[in-house]
Amino acid sequence: MYNPRSKDLDREYFPSYHSTRFQDQPEPNIAVQDHFIKLTQQHERDLTQKQAISVDHLRYGEGRRLVDVFYNKSTPNQAPLFVFIHGGYWQMLDKSTSCSVVGPLVRRGYRVAVMDYNICPAVTLQTLMKQFTEFLNWIFDYAELTNVLEITFAGHSAGAHLLAQILKAPEVITPQRSKMVWALVFLCGVYDLRELYNLESVNPKNILGLSSINVEAVSPMLWEYSDVAIWSSTNIYVVVAEHDSTTFIEQSRRYAEHLKKSGFRANFKKFPKYDHFDIIEETADDESDVSRFLQNLRAE
Segments making up each domain of the chain, as ranges = 4-299
The answer to whether residues 182 and 204 touch, using CB atoms and an 8 Å cutoff, is no
Asked if 157 is an active-site residue, the reply is yes
Q: Which fold has domain 4-299?
A: Rossmann fold (3.40.50)
Q: For 40-94, what is each residue's pLDDT tens digit?
A: 999 999 999 999 999 999 999 999 999 999 999 999 989 999 999 999 999 999 9
pLDDT of res. 4: 42
Helix or strand run (H / E) with residue 253 = helix 246-262
The residue type of 84 is F
Asked if 244 is an active-site residue, the reply is yes
Q: Which of 116, 192, 244, 275 is catalytic?
A: 244
Q: Which of 100, 252, 276, 278 is catalytic?
A: 276
Q: Give the pLDDT band (50/70/90) at residue 8.
A: confident
Q: Which of 98, 100, 157, 291 is catalytic?
A: 157
Q: For 107-127, what is each residue's pLDDT tens digit?
A: 999 999 999 999 999 999 999
Asked if 161 is an active-site residue, the reply is no
Kindly report the length of the chain: 300
Strands 54-59 vs 66-71: parallel, antiparallel or unpaired: antiparallel
Residue 182, C-beta contacts closer than 8 angstroms, at least 6 positions apart: 80, 150, 151, 152, 234, 235, 297, 298
Measure CA of the first residue to CA of the last residue in the chain; give whole Å. Answer: 52
- Number of Cβ within 10 Å of residue 247's Cβ equals 19
Please tell me the number of Cα atoms within 13 Å of 71 on its side-chain side: 16
Q: For 28-42, what is each residue's pLDDT tens digit?
A: 999 999 999 999 999
